[in-house]
Amino acid sequence: MKQTRLYERHVDLGGRMVPFADYELPVQYTAGPNAEHQSVRTAAGVFDIDHMGQFALSGGDALRFLQYVQVADLSRLKEWEARYSLLCYEDGTLVDDIFIYRLPASDNGLPGQSAGAEWLIVVNASNREKDFTWLQSFTHGLDVELTDISDETYMLAVQGPRAVGILDGMTDADLASVPSRTAVHAQVGGTEMLLGRTGYTGEDGFELYLPPEEAVSFWDALLSEGRGAGLLPCGLAARDSLRFEACMSLYGHEIDAKTTPYEARLGWVVALQKPDFIGRMALLKEKLEGSARLLVAFEMQERAIPREGYGIIGQEGKVVGQVTTGMKSPTLDKFVGLGYVPNGMHRLGSDIHVLVRGSPRRARICKRPFYRARR
């Protein structure tokens, strides 16, 4: 089991360490998941997400390569801009969901100016090896260099309404003026890094890419700087509840190798106008003919927790779908969930039943997301 550079810091802070994606990571600290969740919603939280994977891409055919291997149209993406996207198999199912940054080939802030990277691809931790092998298989005959820089790059996320202000106080750069879904190279707390105004909590903030050897000193400086503003270290439990409230899909839950973008309500990412990309014909067919099932959000009408894997019951009393994530929302103080139902059962306000410990409990399909931050 791997440990991040911050392992001892997590233990010292009372972090309860659990296995996750081949790493030992904190699921929570002494304040507890609810307090950590609320700190991100009202102030700020910092997450050690060094288990995530990062690939550097360069070469004359880099854009051509990316246009083929993922579903979004990057042709108009400018330097320092970022885009959420998806990798698909030929049948339209998902390899992974990813984030892509377009960077200048030099002075881009990546640790060690990795491979003169013009692009940074960020992938899910559990899919790192699979994604790299998948992408590498399409580089033959192209002028591209794809490098796994995960071990040379440390990744943190600072999220919440006060996150930008905290980081701004540690740098001469004007981070508050950095637009959403763009990146900047800056020195923060004495550490050179790439900062992307991105995140997966539903709140404002930055994801940070810095040299691993600087991780401990930067972590200490950040916690010291943010203490007065309510910054808390946050674990995996809070990260899951935060992304869930914002209805952001998690690989292995809402999306996987049996799920398509249209089923997962991620069709807005797919650029069918591109002439060719992996999975295009299957996705075009699904767009034209409709999906067999769709992801929905629902609110329990009875007091019950709709846990992952619980069945969703149709009108004839049969299990026709499944809960992908469910919990009591810390922000809304309601029992809510996400799950797949057959196309036609997805209409807002429709009543469904969730099979909770063998007993059907009433629920109602509602709008997504459960929570949207005020900007």
**pLDDT tens string 139-198:** 999 999 999 999 999 999 999 999 999 999 999 999 999 999 999 999 999 999 999 999
Same domain, 262 and 303: no
Residue 307, domain extent: 292-375
Q: What residues have CB less than 8 Å from 59, skipping those under 6 apart? A: 65, 118, 142, 143, 144, 145
Q: How many domains does the chain have?
A: 2
Q: Are residues 314 and 270 in the same domain?
A: no
Q: Are 120 and 157 part of one and the same domain?
A: yes
Q: Is 27 helix (H, G, I), strand (E, B) or coil?
A: strand
Q: Looking at the structure, do residues 164 and 304 belong to the same domain, yes or no?
A: no
Residue 189 sits in the same domain as residue 330:
no
Q: Which of 102, 83, 226, 78 is nearest to 165 (CA)?
A: 226
* 178 and 297 both lie in a single domain: no
CATH number at residue 344: 2.40.30.110
Final residue in a domain of this structure, among 237, 264, 291? 291
Which of 291, 326, 344 represents a domain boundary (last residue)?
291
Task: Report pLDDT digits (tens) over 198-249.
Answer: 999 999 999 999 999 999 999 999 999 999 999 999 999 999 999 999 999 9
Q: Are residues 189 and 264 in the same domain?
A: yes
Q: Confidence band (pLDDT; 50, 70, 90) for 113?
A: low
Q: Is the pTM of this model over 0.75?
A: yes
Question: Which has the closest alpha carbon to 156: 66, 221, 248?
Answer: 221
Claim to verify: residue 16 and residue 155 sit in the same structural domain: yes
Q: Please, which pLDDT band fits residue 375 given cuts at 50, 70 and 90?
A: low
122, β-bridge pairs: 54, 99
CA atoms of 307 and 311, how far apart (whole Å): 9
Say if residue 282 is in the same domain as residue 202: yes
- pLDDT bin (cut points 50, 70, 90) of residue 60 is very high
Is the same domain home to 298 and 281?
no
Tell me the C-alpha distance between 360 and 363, whole Å: 9
Least confident residue range of 34-38, 112-116, 124-128, 246-250: 112-116
Judge if 197 and 229 occupy the same domain. Answer: yes
Provide the CATH number for the domain around residue 230.
3.30.1360.120
Residue 2 has, within 13 A of its CA and on its CB side, a CA count of 12
Considering the domain architecture, whether residues 296 and 223 belong to the same structural domain is answered as no
Burial class (CB in 10 A: 0-12, 13-18, 19+), 139: middle
Give 256's pLDDT tier (boundaries 50, 70, 90).
very high
| Residue that terminates a domain, selected from 263, 291, 319 | 291
| Two tokens, residue 306 | 């709709």
Contact 327, 305 (CB under 8 A): yes
The burial class, CB within 10 Å (0-12 / 13-18 / 19+), for 28 is buried
- The letter for the amino acid at 270 is V
